[in-house]
Structure 1
Amino acid sequence: MTWALWESYMLPGIWITVQVTVYSAALAAAVAFAVGIMRTSELWIVRFLSGAYFEVFRGASALVFMFWLFFALPIAFGWQLVPLWAGVLALGLTYGAYGSEVVRGALAAVSPAQREAGIALSFTRRQRLRRIELPQAWPEMIPPFNNLSIELLKGTALVSVISVADMTFAANLIRFTTNESAPVYTLLLAMYFVLAFVITRGMRLLERKAKAGIGQAPPPRGGLLGGLRARTAAADPVTGTAAVAGGDK
């Protein structure tokens, strides 16, 4: 693959993939928090409607929903969406449904004593969420949100089927031009890995700051270097050997 092909197709494709990922993640986060909080409401109708949304979008295919938004919506209602925004809407609403379960589960994991303390202080439901429940639940949401973000990144490849010129679309154009499949798709895999790694490192940093903000110990650093640091920190300060749980072996 020549530099001209890389500059003409792949670089703009990377930028489109980043845009789709960021816009879809922002929409998914808004939907996740809104629906997740609604699913913990005291009103049964609110729980029913939010639960119905969750079940429908969890069971629907993001690709088929994308097709519906791009091809069926104009026929049914006369609204023609730009391909980019049809993809963003489909991915954001679908992954927002998955994220709502993360929010609901994290809020449910907050100790009931904390809620009772808020009630004893005459806090409203909104005040309890803002001051007690969400600050404690937020650090627990970040690891599953990290996984969802990476899945969303990989899911952006679906937008290529509605002619959005993302990385996958660009790679297919280059393959058709050069007739080279192995190098093109190997490079494509590497670029998805690099973007996923950047997301992971950013979410790890966010998790450490969130846990530090509520007085919890930050999670251990991942990877080979993180494991080496953890073992070094746990080593006996005199002998330099790592301690073994359960006594001498």
Structure 2
Amino acid sequence: MTWMQYLAPLLKGAQITVIISLASIVLGTILAFAAGIARTSSNPIVSGIAFVYIVLFRGTPLLVQLFWFYYALPLIGISFNPITTGIMTLSLLTGAFGAEVVRGALLAVPVSQYEAARALNFSKTYTLWHIFMPQAVVEMMPAFGNLAVQNLKDTALVSLISIADLTFQAQSLRNITLDSATVYTLTLVGYFIIALGLMLIVRLIEMKLRRGAAFSRSAHS
């Protein structure tokens, strides 16, 4: 086989990688905001549940989490197909790391703004979503960009639960052809191109949010 013949299976695997990465980034972001906001809650039960979730997934290896969901969970009658398992596990991990980004950004908003909102008799919900969150989201974007790229790199582990992603296809090709140098070079290039795409998307979102925040400040000045 020539390197051109390697492209078809690698591109097929790359499609699976992109699907898993994008799906888990979106779901992980939702979890990150939910858990991050919960961590700032004055309710000790809500904050405690979020804390346990964050510590559990930040403190255990992704590989073990994948194996637990794929091999151990079915023993109690709950099972998912490999792709669902991969997306779910990556989402939970991304959400745990993202939650601390959200919490930190919210806590970084000056306390004086909360006091001003309370003086104006704004509700906590209104203050969170209309005063704190617009400022905090802009500051979260660089960290979320790093999380998105890390999520992409972590998808390589889903090949170990029989998902035919880019890494799985590369390993299969290598076993057939024994052409390690070419196969893994093309695989590296593939991951690099996908990562560039992710970084570009995050950068465009960040620029749009910053323009929106600047326009909002000028409108209220």
Classify the TM-score, shorter chain: over 0.9
In the other structure, the counterpart of 1:56 is 56
Question: In structure 1, what residue type is equivalent to 2:155?
Answer: T
CA RMSD of aligned residues (A): 1.2
Higher helix share: 2
Pick 1 or 2: higher relative contact order, CA cutoff 8 A, min separation 6.
Answer: 2
What is the alpha-carbon distance in structure 1 between the residues aligned to residue 168 and residue 4 of structure 2?
17
Question: In structure 2, what residue type is equivalent to 1:66?
Answer: L
Structure 1 unaligned blocks of 5 or more: 217-249
In the other structure, the counterpart of 2:141 is 142
In the other structure, the counterpart of 2:83 is 84
Whether 1:194 aligns to 2:193 is yes
Would you say the 8 A contact 2:66–2:89 is kept in 1? yes
What is the alpha-carbon distance in structure 2 between the residues aligned to residue 62 and residue 96 of structure 1?
13
What is the alpha-carbon distance in structure 1 between the residues aligned to residue 6 and residue 188 of structure 2?
17
Whether 1:22 aligns to 2:7 is no
> Could you list the per-position Cα deviations for residues 38-64 of structure 1 after superposition, in whole angstroms to 9, with x for gaps in the alignment?
000111221111111111111011110
Question: In structure 1, what residue type is equivalent to 2:23?
Answer: Y
Question: In structure 2, what residue type is equivalent to 1:37?
Answer: I
What is the alpha-carbon distance in structure 1 between the residues aligned to residue 214 and residue 26 of structure 2?
27
What is the alpha-carbon distance in structure 1 between the residues aligned to residue 34 and residue 104 of structure 2?
14
What is the alpha-carbon distance in structure 1 between the residues aligned to residue 5 and residue 79 of structure 2?
34
Question: In structure 1, what residue type is equivalent to 2:150?
Answer: E
Equivalences for residues 29-48 of structure 1 within 5 A: 29-48=29-48
Higher Rg of the two aligned structures = 1
> Could you list the per-position Cα deviations for residues 82-140 of structure 1 after superposition, in whole angstroms to 9, with x for gaps in the alignment?
00111111111011100000000000000111111211121111111111000010000
Question: In structure 2, what residue type is equivalent to 1:29?
Answer: T
> Could you list the per-position Cα deviations for residues 157-182 of structure 1 after superposition, in whole angstroms to 9, with x for gaps in the alignment?
00000010000000011111211001
What is the alpha-carbon distance in structure 2 between the residues aligned to residue 5 and residue 215 of structure 1?
48
Instruction: Indicate how the Cα distance of structure 1 residues 45 and 80 shifts in structure 2: closer, same or farther if over 3 A, else same.
Output: closer
In the other structure, the counterpart of 1:66 is 66
What is the alpha-carbon distance in structure 2 between the residues aligned to residue 110 and residue 134 of structure 1?
9
Question: In structure 1, what residue type is equivalent to 2:128?
Answer: L
Would you say the 8 A contact 2:3–2:183 is kept in 1? no
Runs of 4+ with >3 A deviation? 1-5
Give the superposition deviation at 1:6.
2.4
Structure 2 unaligned blocks of 5 or more: 216-221
In the other structure, the counterpart of 2:7 is 6
Give the superposition deviation at 1:4.
4.2
Would you say the 8 A contact 2:98–2:144 is kept in 1? yes
In the other structure, the counterpart of 2:184 is 185
Give the superposition deviation at 1:3.
3.9
Equivalences for residues 163-178 of structure 1 within 5 A: 163-178=162-177
**TM-score, with structure 1 as normaliser:** 0.83
In the other structure, the counterpart of 2:109 is 110
What is the alpha-carbon distance in structure 2 between the residues aligned to residue 190 and residue 159 of structure 1?
19
What is the alpha-carbon distance in structure 1 between the residues aligned to residue 210 and residue 110 of structure 2?
17
> Could you list the per-position Cα deviations for residues 5-49 of structure 1 after superposition, in whole angstroms to 9, with x for gaps in the alignment?
422x21210110000001111111011000000000111221111
Give the percent of matched residue pairs that are identical in Structure 1 and Structure 2: 43
Would you say the 8 A contact 2:106–2:133 is kept in 1? yes
- SS, match of residue 65 in structure 2: helix
Give the superposition deviation at 1:80.
2.1
> Could you list the per-position Cα deviations for residues 208-228 of structure 1 after superposition, in whole angstroms to 9, with x for gaps in the alignment?
111111118xxxxxxxxxxxx
Equivalences for residues 92-241 of structure 1 within 5 A: 92-215=91-214
Give the superposition deviation at 1:78.
1.4
- SS, match of residue 200 in structure 1: helix
